[in-house]
Chains A and B, each alone.
Chain A
């Protein structure tokens, strides 16, 4: 069995944040007496990522996603816990580790603002010691995959956000990293550009077999790219497994939508409630359409009853959209994790 690319064991990061009340009096007091508060950003998470896997890291703002990525890329020292990436302890920042990974932050520029993009690329080539012929070949490949064209000859300040992001991505991959940490790589981009970046990440992963850990606010990113998601909230791991499992675990109900034959009397609400297993299950009903939300285990039984009792023209059974599920998870908070044993995704 190949050893994991990334292994995280009980990783924690607590920030000391200075705090005081508002107002003049509190300001005066704070000259003499400083107080600070410990804010746990990451509160003991553990997981492993196998070589070549693309894992989506989900969580609301402040969940600890970015802090985790920063620890794994060596920018931050953890408060406690252990982690290895490519066999190295990231925060020891050994050159051999740094040369083999990259961190792409959607809201940060690594390219110099006022010089043409290729000048920054050339500097990266020297820093990572990429031989010239290989560099040229990789650059051509990236220019083609990301459709960069002439962009690389323009100064960064003259590029649009999307163009800049594509160049950032290209610059971060010239050294062909084996591990990619992507922190919201599509943030602020239009839908077309998001799709472009997404397709590119999948393509890069397929071509190089790079292990990829990605955070995003956009479910579309995760659904398109990841066969495994890790959900964290308040620094705690709530779920680790495939996206469909996430839906099954956190949303115990399915939605049944029925289109009724026209020119029929509208169904009696009381009868509908009885068919669905309770008045709460009826989300919406009219002469043409009925929507019910029923427990996952009773879906088949309810469907059978409905088909027998109503003049059904069409019937659809659906999982709730994953966005909605994520909302449910985050609304439930950390206690949701108690109910959810992390799946082993390996």
Chain B
């Protein structure tokens, strides 16, 4: 049986092992989860307060709109985020990458499975919290049914895009011994240009244009805007196109960087 045909059973086994593993780290799981929830809640509280003090509206966003925006943002961020680039340096330096390289399946599958398992586990908490936020902050959703439906592929593509981009970023560890600075730079771009701090429409036009051209918006803001009902059919289609184009570009880059990277991998200490 080829490696590709075996992937579903490999993923299933990895899910089982990973659930056992993540349950073993219950404490860490809760702390991660808190971090994940607190950030959007802080923005939500700040912006709904600003909206109320401005007479109810900021740039077309009322308090209920902000509540809907940041709740959706929390969901999208939770489902798309990855952490491998923070650990890759350690993995390479300490030789923990070697066992993955020895397996007859690409190491990326290990990380995809790990990522999906974590999402599955944490969503059991994030889901109810989202409902709690919607009720408490009186979120208003103006979307039509087709827009909620269009949200699903936008979210799936955003997950794929963010994973491929961030896994490629992680591979920088093959060249750089301290990847912290690079990761911080990426994180800053992510924070301001993906719509995490505030909806992109509230930014100056120049920033909005830059955000449109870079991949960050398509990883987070686009699915959120789609679900909020702020995009028309044409915008949604353009968004899918942008996501697919970025995924294709990132996959090509990933392949090139991967090939060059494992040539450099010197498995020190491995």
- Residues in A lying within 8 Å of B, measured CB to CB: 15, 70, 73-77, 93, 95-96, 98-99, 102-103, 105, 108-110, 112, 114-116, 119-120, 122-123, 125-129, 155
B265 touches A75 (CB 8 A): yes
Chain B positions within 8 Å of A99 at CB level: 104
Can you sample 6 A-B contacts with CB below 8 Å?
A: A76-B265, A119-B16, A126-B10, A127-B104, A129-B6, A155-B24
Chain A positions within 8 Å of B105 at CB level: 95, 127
- When each residue 1-25 of chain B gets 1 if its CB lies under 8 Å from chain A and 0 otherwise, what string results? 1110010011011101100110011
- The answer, among B20, B95, B99, for a CB contact under 8 Å with A115, is B20
B17 touches A115 (CB 8 A): yes
**With an 8 A cutoff between CB atoms, is B251 at the interface?**
no
Chain A positions within 8 Å of B13 at CB level: 122-123, 125-127
A99–B1 CA distance with the chains assembled, in angstroms: 11
Decide: A126 near B12, CB < 8 A? Known: A75-B101, A114-B25: yes
B17 touches A120 (CB 8 A): yes
A270–B203 CA distance with the chains assembled, in angstroms: 101
Q: Which 7 A-B pairs have the closest CB atoms?
A: A126-B13, A98-B104, A95-B104, A110-B99, A114-B24, A99-B104, A115-B20
- The answer, among A95, A108, A120, A123, for a CB contact under 8 Å with B95, is A108
Give the shortest distance, in Å, between B175 (CB) and chain A (any CB).
Answer: 12
Give the shortest distance, in Å, between A31 (CB) and chain B (any CB).
Answer: 14
A266–B13 CA distance with the chains assembled, in angstroms: 76
Chain B positions within 8 Å of A129 at CB level: 1, 6, 9
Chain B positions within 8 Å of A74 at CB level: 101-102
Give the shortest distance, in Å, between B13 (CB) and chain A (any CB).
Answer: 3
A125–B102 CA distance with the chains assembled, in angstroms: 14
A115–B20 CA distance with the chains assembled, in angstroms: 6
B3 touches A77 (CB 8 A): no
Decide: A76 near B266, CB < 8 A? Known: A119-B20, A126-B6: yes
Decide: A114 near B6, CB < 8 A? Known: A70-B270, A108-B99: no
**With an 8 A cutoff between CB atoms, is B98 at the interface?**
yes
Residue of B nearest to A112 (CB): B21
Q: Give the residues from 96 to 145 in chain B that come closer than 8 angstroms, CB to CB, to chain A.
A: 98-99, 101-105
- The answer, among A75, A109, A123, for a CB contact under 8 Å with B102, is A75
Further pairs besides A108-B95, A123-B17: 4, Cβ < 8 Å: A70-B270, A77-B262, A114-B25, A127-B13
A112 touches B17 (CB 8 A): yes
Chain B positions within 8 Å of A73 at CB level: 102
**With an 8 A cutoff between CB atoms, is B33 at the interface?**
no
Q: Give the residues from 51 to 104 in chain B that come closer than 8 angstroms, CB to CB, to chain A.
A: 95, 98-99, 101-104
**With an 8 A cutoff between CB atoms, is B267 at the interface?**
yes
Give the shortest distance, in Å, between A277 (CB) and chain B (any CB).
Answer: 51
A108 touches B102 (CB 8 A): no
B21 touches A114 (CB 8 A): yes
- The answer, among A15, A75, A95, A114, for a CB contact under 8 Å with B3, is A95
Give the shortest distance, in Å, between B29 (CB) and chain A (any CB).
Answer: 12
A116–B24 CA distance with the chains assembled, in angstroms: 11
Give the shortest distance, in Å, between A47 (CB) and chain B (any CB).
Answer: 22
A115–B2 CA distance with the chains assembled, in angstroms: 28
Chain A positions within 8 Å of B95 at CB level: 108
Give the shortest distance, in Å, between A191 (CB) and chain B (any CB).
Answer: 27
Chain A positions within 8 Å of B2 at CB level: 95
Residue of B nearest to A100 (CB): B104
Give the shortest distance, in Å, between A159 (CB) and chain B (any CB).
Answer: 15
Give the shortest distance, in Å, between A178 (CB) and chain B (any CB).
Answer: 13
Give the shortest distance, in Å, between A316 (CB) and chain B (any CB).
Answer: 46
Chain A positions within 8 Å of B102 at CB level: 73-75, 98, 102-103, 110
A108–B96 CA distance with the chains assembled, in angstroms: 8
A105 touches B270 (CB 8 A): yes
Give the shortest distance, in Å, between B170 (CB) and chain A (any CB).
Answer: 18
A127–B266 CA distance with the chains assembled, in angstroms: 24
Chain A positions within 8 Å of B12 at CB level: 126
Decide: A122 near B104, CB < 8 A? Known: A70-B270, A77-B263, A108-B95: no
Chain B positions within 8 Å of A125 at CB level: 13
- The answer, among A75, A110, A115, A128, for a CB contact under 8 Å with B267, is A75
A58–B266 CA distance with the chains assembled, in angstroms: 22
Decide: A98 near B103, CB < 8 A? Known: A115-B21, A119-B20, A125-B13: yes
A126 touches B9 (CB 8 A): yes
Chain A positions within 8 Å of B103 at CB level: 98, 127
Residue of A nearest to B6 (CB): A129
Chain A positions within 8 Å of B99 at CB level: 108-110
Chain A positions within 8 Å of B104 at CB level: 95-96, 98-99, 127-128
A344–B98 CA distance with the chains assembled, in angstroms: 33
Chain A positions within 8 Å of B6 at CB level: 126-127, 129
Give the shortest distance, in Å, between B177 (CB) and chain A (any CB).
Answer: 9
